[in-house]
Amino acid sequence: MPSDMRQSKDMTVAGYGFGVDADVNKPLAIEIIAYSYMKFLLVCILIFSLVQIGHSALTATANIHVDSTSVAIGTVLFHQRDANSPVRVVGIIDGLKNNTVHGFHVHRDALMNGELNCTAAGPHFNPYSTLHGPREADLGHRHVGDLGNLTANDNGIIIIELTDSIIDLYNATRSVANRTIVLHAMRDDGGKGGFPDSNTTGDAGPRIACGVISLAMIESDTNSQSPKISTMVTDFFRKLFP
């Protein structure tokens, strides 16, 4: 069975990714301060991204939940200024074990009708039937959905800030809208690990969290841009600061 199809009911016990209560010796005040700082950093990144918005910008968001539960642990935003620009990806995912590395991929299918099981997202988004590869590879040597690895910091928080020229919001073949972003339990080996599923999943292990990527905004008129951006930012901040 491919490693990313294996499921675990308790990721903390299984040693995969989540450890919300694992570090009981760390002072709570320090955790709160560190978490607040990371959220502030993400806000700065998001604002920097939004001030670059031009004509016809597209934005999509994904609310991340723990596999097979309704527990929300983060939000990811995808932004593409125009059809010729790369996609900017920013976000935050919390509740992971400290200093763990996780494969991060777009999977082919959207979760439908309230489905929470990340396995329902199907395989990696791979419209060109290529082998799995690292995010840095060209289109002929990776899946469109291959976004490499994310690393949780000392507080179990992942801050996402990356740019990718292969995923898209405009191009119908490469569009990640209405698909699912998935966080895996283990490191993605970039197709070079020599395991049976290295060329399909990067041997990244079970799917521990995911969220449907939903198109959030279409901008074609800069005169109407401000209120739409304001609404999007407000909604995003509410998710960060409940």
pLDDT single digits (tens) 70-96 = 999 999 999 999 999 999 999 999 999
Rounded to an integer, what distance in angstroms lies between the CA atom of residue 160 and that of residue 152? 10
- pLDDT of res. 25: 44
User: Does residue 151 lie within any of the structural domains?
Assistant: yes
User: Does residue 233 lie within any of the structural domains?
Assistant: yes
Give the residue numbers marked as catalytic.
Answer: 105, 107, 124, 132, 143, 146, 184, 207
We report the CATH number of the domain holding residue 181 as: 2.60.40.200
3-state secondary structure of 140: helix
**Which class for 78: exposed (0-12), middle (13-18), buried (19 or more C-beta within 10 A)?**
buried
Number of domains making up the chain: 1
* pLDDT tens-digit readout, 179-224: 999 999 999 999 999 999 999 999 999 999 999 999 975 544 444 4
Confidence of residue 31 (pLDDT cuts 50, 70, 90): low
* pLDDT tens-digit readout, 83-138: 999 999 999 999 999 999 999 999 999 999 999 999 999 999 999 999 999 999 99
pTM of the predicted model as reported, rounded to 2 decimal places: 0.78
Rounded to an integer, what distance in angstroms lies between the CA atom of residue 193 and that of residue 94? 28
User: Does residue 11 lie within any of the structural domains?
Assistant: no
What is the extent of the structural domain holding 25? 19-240
- Over 60: is that where the pLDDT of 232 sits? no
